[in-house]
Amino acid sequence: MSVTSSDPRIAGARAAPKRGIRFSWSDPLFRAIIWQIVIVGIVVGIGWYLVHNTMQNLAARRIATGFDFLDRVAGIPIGESMIAYDSSVHTYGRALVIGVLNTLQVSVVGIILATIIGTLVGIGRLSSNWLLARLTAFYVEVIRDIPLLLQLLFWYTMLQGLPPPRQAWSIGDTAFLSNRGIKLPLLEWQTAYGFALLGLAAGIAATIWWSRRASRVQEQTGVRPSVWPVAIGGMVVLPLAIWALFGAPLVLDIPALRGFNFQGGGTISPEFSALLIGLVTYTAGFIAEIVRSGIQAVPNGQWEAARALGLRHGVILRQIILPQALRVIIPPMTSQYLNLTKNSSLAVAIGFQDIVSIANTTLNQTGQAIEVIAIIMAVYLTISLSISLFMNWYNARIALVER
């Protein structure tokens, strides 16, 4: 059965031949594609010109290029490193790796400490205690108005003003504080410690699993099983039991004064201490304001409803207010973590050998300016992107989802 139409317009439309695709300048999509192609072409052209011109100038001046210098013996003295280093044997590549590790060390420790101190100060600013609120407000206003470089120089000068090793301040004749740094007892590694750490890792995994199970049980029954017994058993009792099974070895390398300095133990240098204190105190001031604003962004009705249920102030803040405030806190907190990491490059001003300090020495000795600067840029770009990716993942994980 066929259906026909008497409308001539419909019949004409059916009979009209198909037209090919036309690209017209009046089409916004076509113009957008063309402009993108033109802009990308211009950027590529400028990049090619700069690279080509640079290579020609370097060749004309007989300046070596490439990264072969990384395999040459460095000869750079490095005061503190997380891995073994000998300036007469190891290469520039290893020296730069030590610089990266030193940067990561101060950045990771600084982020953790700045988060803890900044959170406490931010909560203190909202305290009903008049003295505590004013002291924390004074800290925030003063610490944020002093340039970080001046703070680093101040702390370094203070640490250099400590007594010499012979008059060092002693803590129980095991730890010493002098202008050479902080000397602490150091554990001599034993096999038992490795197995105890494995037990600790297993205890942490068990605690996380039990916590998630407790959350599911709470959603189903309204009653949350206790997590702390599993946490104590897995993260305290289990490692200690493993350590005891191996004979409970405890061998300490205690520092002792030998001549004009201490020998043995571990050392926290004045340069690292000054850099860490400066970065932490400075960044904590900004984090405190972020935490305060995040808490104040939560409606007052949440406080009132929680108080009506008879909950204590600490429980309300920890279980109700802070989880909601995190959605406001996390994005600006990411910026502060990035700032702390990048501000660690000021370590060169007080003599701490981070990636910038070691790279500058490498540049002066090898003349490989472009390659060394590229390495510095790549290191900070990689660290910054890693922090951003982790914080974005965490922000998405804790985001409030409407059901």
* Per-residue pLDDT, 173: 79
Report which secondary-structure segment, H or E, holds 114.
Answer: helix 92-125
Region at 274 (left for phi over 0; alpha for psi -120 to 50; beta for the rest): alpha
* Per-residue pLDDT, 23: 65
* Per-residue pLDDT, 2: 46
Q: Rg of the Cα trace of the chain?
A: 31
- Helices 92-125 + 270-296 axis angle, to 10: 40
Position 42 confidence tier, pLDDT thresholds 50, 70, 90: very high
- What are the residue ranges spanned by the domains of the chain? 92-183+267-398, 189-250
Highest average pLDDT, of 137-151, 254-268, 388-402, comes from: 137-151
* Per-residue pLDDT, 100: 94
**How does pLDDT run across 245-301, given as a tens digit for each residue?**
988 888 888 888 887 788 887 888 899 999 999 999 999 999 999 999 998 988 888
Averaged pLDDT, 22-32: 76
Q: Give the residue ranges of DSSP H helices in 28-74.
A: 28-60
Distance of CA 55 to the CA centre of its chain: 36
**How does pLDDT run across 325-382, given as a tens digit for each residue?**
888 899 999 999 999 999 999 999 998 999 999 999 999 888 888 889 999 999 999 9
State the chain's maximal CA–CA distance in angstroms.
Answer: 113
pTM for this model (two decimals): 0.80
Other CB atoms within a 10 A radius of the CB of residue 243 amount to 19
**Gap between the Cα atoms of 250 and 394, Å rounded:** 38
* Per-residue pLDDT, 33: 87
Give all strands (DSSP E) within 185-292, no chain letters: 186-187, 252-253, 256-258, 261-263, 266-268
Q: Could you tell me the two tokens for 279?
A: 């970065």
Q: What percent of the chain has pLDDT over 90?
A: 40
Mean residue pLDDT across the chain:
86
The answer to whether the CB of 78 falls within 8 A of the CB of 55 is no
pLDDT for residue 215 is more than 50: yes
* Per-residue pLDDT, 181: 85
Side chain identity at residue 233, one-letter code = G
- CATH code assigned to 92-183+267-398: 1.10.3720.10
Identify the burial level of 14 via C-beta atoms within 10 angstroms of its C-beta, where 0-12 means exposed, 13-18 middle and 19 or more buried: exposed
Averaged pLDDT, 171-192: 84
The answer to whether the CB of 156 falls within 8 A of the CB of 350 is yes
